Amino acid sequence: MSRNLYIADLHLGHQNCIGFDGRPFSSIDEHDKALVTNWNAVVMPDDHVYVVGDFAYRNEKPVSYYTSRLHGHIHLIRGNHDKRSTEYESCFESVDDILKIGDMLHGSPVEVIMCHYWIPFLPELRRGAYMLHGHTHKGGKEQNLEEQLKEKIRQNYKLHRAYNVGCMWQDYYPQTLEQIVARQKGYR
């Protein structure tokens, strides 16, 4: 039985992301090898992995170098660092700017909306949908602002399910919706 897993902001091949995020790697080769190893440790061949933006950036190796080494069916939701080219996009099973799918959570069907950018006022979020996004990296003004806004929305709406699935928030592993929700209990 296949599963859906989610991750964002891998930035494969992007040396600057190590320092920018404080990623625990000494080189981009070590970074990329660890992310591929981690991915393949949890993703089975029939699983669907949704990369919610920024798969690779400033990479010297072609995107196909990475995708050919990764298990599962890889779907890209474009981020600001994903190239809009046939060569880049042909490496993925599907490519979208925003995507809605069904998934299971605690044995019940739920709607999942994915976009690289957090969209706080989607009506579906007030009706129980889950939003998965990336883009906001660790540290800095964007992270603080996002956390403050999410808290204000949760206080006003009592229920707001938006989760950042950037790899740096997920110990550099793709995760299921169950894992994401368990990890970020405060973002319900």
SS (H, E, C) 75-141: EEECCCCCCCCHHHHCCCCEEECEEEEEEEECCEEEEEEEECCCCCCCHHHHCCCEEEECCCCCCHH
Residue 120: predicted pLDDT: 84
Least confident stretch, 103-112, 121-130, 163-172: 121-130
Residue with the two structure tokens 């806004």: 149
In terms of DSSP bridges, do strands 98-105 and 108-115 run parallel, antiparallel, or are they unpaired?
antiparallel
The CATH class for the domain spanning 4-187 reads alpha beta
Residue 187: predicted pLDDT: 41
Position 86: which residue type? T
| Pairwise CA distance, residues 61 & 67, whole Å | 11
Which tops the pLDDT comparison, 15 or 139?
A: 15
Which tops the pLDDT comparison, 95 or 19?
A: 95
Mean pLDDT of the chain: 90
Which tops the pLDDT comparison, 55 or 127?
A: 55
| Pairwise CA distance, residues 17 & 23, whole Å | 7
Residue 31: predicted pLDDT: 96
pLDDT digits (tens, 9 = 90+) for 55-86: 998 888 999 999 999 999 999 999 999 999 99
Q: How confident is the model at residue 186 (pLDDT cuts 50, 70, 90)?
A: very low
Residue 183: predicted pLDDT: 85
Residue 4: predicted pLDDT: 98
| Pairwise CA distance, residues 143 & 138, whole Å | 6
CB 73 within 8 A of CB 47: yes
Helix (H, G, I), strand (E, B) or coil at 166: strand
- Sign, CA torsion 100/125/186/151: positive
State mean pLDDT over 14-30. 91
pLDDT over 90 percentage in the chain: 69
pLDDT digits (tens, 9 = 90+) for 141-179: 788 788 888 778 777 766 668 899 999 989 999 999 999
Reported pTM? 0.92
To which H or E segment does residue 44 belong? none
pLDDT over 70 percentage in the chain: 95
Which tops the pLDDT comparison, 89 or 186?
A: 89
